[in-house]
Structure 1
Amino acid sequence: MSDSVPVTVWITRTVKPGCEAGFERAMHEFAQRSLAQPGQLGVHITRPAPGAASRDYRIMRKFASRAALAAYHASREYLAWNEAVRGLTEGDPRVEELSGLESWFTPEGAPLRPLPQWKMALVTFLGVYPLTSLLPPFFGRLFAPLHPLLINIVTTGLVVALLTWIVMPLLTRFFRRWLHS
């Protein structure tokens, strides 16, 4: 993966009962300070719904590159934040890196917030359908003497590459207002 590709991570922390106010205060202060670090593209916090049984806070952070993520994890601010909330949370944070389809729908500069899945599915369909309808017959004729499995590997690789670097970035830009409305 190229170092200049944006990286998005979800951090889930389970707050101890009765420690919610202290965690919220510490989280807000840290979020404000950490955004001043180089390579920060945004932060979005999802709190448990009032009255919900869950005490999980989900923090989505977006970084300009893998190097910015590494610098963030090594920063004094991040290490101090982890130490400060250790007594307010249960266990270690759970971290997930978004690297699949979900990362297509978070263009640089857009607010980091969950999008309706039906909208993501529709835009993905608009990107996948033309490619999977046009490319297999074209490559089937072009590489007719080759084994069908090899043709399928080349076609699938091209579909994935086109979706990742051309089609989905264009579609998310084109549908940005609708996706984020």
Structure 2
Amino acid sequence: MPIHVAITRRVRPGREAEFQQALHDFIAASFAHGGVLGANMVVPLPGSDGREYGVLRSFRDERERDDFYRSPLFKEWNERARAYTEGEPVRHPLNGLEAWFRSPSGPPPRWKMALLTWIAVWPISMAVPAALSPLRESLPHVIFAGAVALGIVLALTWAVMPVLVKMTHSWLHPGAS
């Protein structure tokens, strides 16, 4: 199961452009690590006075995440970043709803995530059992229920939620580009 982590840092005034370029280079280099599935740069909204920058990164699993954060590449980046930043980096593991709703502007309000998830689950929770109904009599109830749950999770993860999140982006993240 993929693991999602956000690490943010507060950049020193006047060092934003240098940090952003260094972060861009680090993200590009990090894809050489086999367990990295993806990464997005987090930057403050244009025109804001925010100085929080960071990375939303996805890993194949916990072992790959841990290997990456112990790697010489990450340790070198951590030292390099200190020249541009104030304080310590802040690590935010993303799990549950936040993982589906990843965005450089941060997750939307929980009520929006819950509402959109409910909108997705409701029809899928009716469609999957209907599609699997021919198996209902031939499988033990607990196995059939497991197959239904698996179908719902697969449909939500790889089809329904990505489409819904994209379709409702402006509602989830008003003011974001």
Structure 1 length normalisation: TM-score? 0.66
Please tell me whether the aligned partners of residues 124 and 152 of structure 2 are also in contact (alpha carbons under 8 angstroms).
Answer: no
Q: CA deviation at 1:45?
A: 1.0
Matched, 1:122 2:116: yes
Which of 130, 135, 157 is matched with 1:172 structurally?
A: 157
2:18 counterpart of 1:7: no
**Cα distance, 1:49 vs structure 2:** 1.7
Corresponding residue number in structure 1 for 2:40: 44
CA-CA distance at 1:170 after TM superposition: 1.5
Shift of 1:115: 7.3
Following the alignment from structure 2 to structure 1, what is the Cα–Cα distance between the partners of residues 20 and 100?
Answer: 30
**2: distance between equivalents of 1:128 and 1:102?**
20
Higher mean C-alpha deviation, range 97-106 or range 28-37: 97-106
Alignment of 1:1-181 (within 5 A): 5-104=1-100, 118=112, 121-127=115-121, 162=149, 166-175=151-160, 176-181=162-167
Q: Which digits, 9 at most, give the CA deviation of each residue in 1:24-70, with x for residues without a partner?
A: 12101111010111111100112112221210013100000101101
Partner Cα distance (1:42, 1:58) in 2? 14
Matched residue type, 1:15: V
- Judge conservation of contact 2:101–2:113 (CA < 8 Å) in 1: no
Relative distance call for 1:50 and 1:104 in structure 2 (3 A) is closer
1:43 touches 1:60 (CA, 8 Å); kept in 2? yes
AA of the residue aligned to 1:173: W
Q: CA deviation at 1:80?
A: 0.3
- SS of the residue corresponding to residue 180 of structure 1 reads helix
Deviation at 1:20, TM superposition (A): 0.8
Give, in whole Å, the separation in 2 of the partners of 1:66 and 1:48: 28
Looking at structure 1, the residues matched to 33 and 114 of structure 2 have their Cα atoms a distance apart, in angstroms, of 31
Structure 2 residue identity aligned to 1:90: E
Deviation at 1:124, TM superposition (A): 3.2
How many residue pairs get aligned? The number is: 143
CA RMSD of aligned residues (A): 3.0
Per the normalisation by structure 2, the TM-score is: 0.68
Percentage of matched positions with identical amino acids:
32
Label 1:128 to 1:104 Cα distance change in 2 as closer, same or farther (>3 A).
Answer: farther
Between the aligned partners of 1:168 and 1:124, the Cα distance in structure 2 is 13
Distance in 2 of aligned mates of 1:100 and 1:39: 20
